[in-house]
Amino acid sequence: MEENSVTPPLNDISNDKVANDAFALQIKNKSISLPNGKVNQQYCIPFTFEQLGIEDINDFWFDGLENIGLKYNPDTSEISGNPTVAGDHKIKLSIKRKDWTENKPIFERELVLVINHDPKSLWKEIPTPTDTEYYKPDSAKQFLKVEASTGFLKFGKEFRKDIVVASQRGRSHAHEGKARDDDFGVAYDKGNQWYIMSVADGAGSAKSSRRGSEIVCKTFVEVCQSQLSTQHENFEHLIKEFSKETSDANRKKLGDTLYSIVGAGVFKAYKNIEEEAQKSGKPIKDFSTTLIVSICKKFKFGWFVGAFWVGDGAIGIYNKETQFLKLLGESDSGEFAGQTRFLTMPEITQPAELYRRLRFDIVPDFTALILMTDGISDPKFETDANLMKIEKWNELWTDLLQMVTFADDNELAAGQLLKWLDFWSPGNHDDRTIAILY
């Protein structure tokens, strides 16, 4: 040090004082920081004075580590342990210089060691007050059992696919005692044998979106039921024609009829939100919701699946055996997370846009037709590109099989699916809804 080089020779005592003062200053000004830790997560960091560039140390010790579950190990030169207490902890570092003897100063430095909570332990589960406007239960489930048909003299018994649905309020809502914004609706018509499914995710920022999602799911199912009851014969005829010959003309006729059924359901869903907005004197925006719907039926030549999708989430036909995957539309996502489109946006219900979002296909069979809100697609697929990857759907299906028994007429599946929805994924605590036809 330059200052030392010009220091005049002094006697031992004052020489010692100068050295001590310089050392004290060095300790005071040195940037010494301990990385943050987390409760119940192994903490282990090396600590030496060499790494800090401080020399001439005889001994040092910490006060305040033990009571938070940590200790310094001189053999390994590590501070380690399993932190038990969250907070900004003041740790006292005491240091003796190399030629320390009784009555010589011990140098001290206060350090702050931050131990974070384990986020899991901070989530609160506050039930939604039942007097909340547009109250709905924090979770819901349904098993729509479609019993096997029995043929002549009980021969040729044919199993029929069932629908299982579960919807769970996200932790971010539970933490604040706010209601679930997601919703769903399903139906099966025994007469014409059509399945109808819908899931919707009310926008987190829109005040009455939980009502929006409820209206659209319910409306869609009702309208489709009534449309199918009057149109199913003509519609099924067009499906058969299309299965024989996938010409553009046949595709157009079938698409137009699908539009008059599914499109009508979606449009009426929007109109009913408009009506609710007028009745309650609230802006339509307050009811913002996404919507994913499907209608399907089994034919001799395979399954017809029609769909409409606006917003995030996903809908896909998945076949585990043949490794077939078909995504029935595209996810609407913006440049930032959480940005998407809603049914309530004026451009969505324009006829051309509505038509553009319709999808249909005929497939031989499938393991599952899955509709889900972004509370599930975000943690399980992460990106839009991953929605197209069969591996990701395989992972999802394997994961589901861990907890859900997809056996014919297994009514317990609804409860199992609801339990599955509780899976843990950091940063993903949105409402979760999934509807599966299997």
Partner 1 sequence: MRRLPVYILIQTSGAMRGEPIESIKVGLEAMVASLRQDPFALESVYMSLITFNRTPEQLLPLTELENLQIPTIQQPTSAGTHLGEALEFLCKKVEAEVQLSTPDRKGDWSPLLFIMCDGRASDIQLFNQILPEVKRRNFGSIIACSVGSKTDVENLKKITDQIVSLDTTDSSTFRQFFKWVSASVSIGNRSIGATSDLVLPPPPPEVHTVI
Residues that bind partner 1 (CB under 8 A): 33, 35-36, 38, 86, 88, 114, 116-117, 119-120, 122-123, 171-172, 175, 203-206, 209, 285, 288, 333-340, 342, 344, 378, 382-385, 426-429
Dihedral over Cα of 148, 293, 174, 210: its sign: negative
Specify the DSSP class assigned to residue 168: E
80 close to 71: Cβ distance less than 8 angstroms: yes
Cβ contacts of residue 411 below 8 Å, gap of 6+?
143, 145
CB of 334 or CB of 351, closer to partner 1: 334
CB of residue 62 vs partner 1: minimum separation in angstroms? 18
DSSP string, 269-326: HHHHHHHHHHHHT--GGGG-B-EEEEEEEEETTEEEEEEEEESSSEEEEEETTTTEEE
Residue with smaller CB distance to partner 1, 165 or 269: 269
User: Least distance from C-beta 398 to partner 1, angstroms?
Assistant: 22
Shortest Å, Cβ 42 to partner 1: 15
Would you say 25 or 412 has its CB closer to partner 1?
25
Coil vs helix vs strand at 189 = coil
Give me the least distance between CB of 262 and partner 1, in Å please.
Answer: 24
**Nearer Cβ to partner 1, position 197 or 215?**
215
Instruction: Pick between residue 161 and residue 432 the one whose CB is nearest to partner 1.
Output: 432
Cross-strand partners of 329: none
With respect to partner 1, which residue has the nearer C-beta, 303 or 342?
342
Answer yes or no: are the C-beta atoms of 255 and 360 closer than 8 Å.
Answer: yes
Nearer to partner 1, 73 or 205 (CB): 205
Q: Return the number of the residue (28 or 252) whose C-beta is nearest partner 1.
A: 28
CB of 203 to partner 1, least distance (A): 4
Nearest-approach distance from CB 111 to partner 1, in angstroms: 11
Do residues 81 and 41 lie in contact, with contact meaning Cβ atoms separated by under 8 Å?
Answer: no
Q: DSSP states of 86-99 as a string?
A: -EEEEEEEEEEETT
CB of 200 to partner 1, least distance (A): 13
* Sequence letter at residue 346: P
Rounded CA separation 433/166 (Å): 6
| Farthest CA pair distance, the chain | 116
Find the shortest distance in angstroms from Cβ 288 to partner 1: 4
Identify the three-state secondary structure at position 383.
Answer: coil
- What are the DSSP calls for 212-246, one per residue? HHHHHHHHHHHHHHHHHHHHHHHHHHHHHHHHH--
Please, which residue, 222 or 330, has the CB nearer to partner 1?
330
In whole angstroms, how close is the CB of 425 to partner 1 at the nearest point? 8
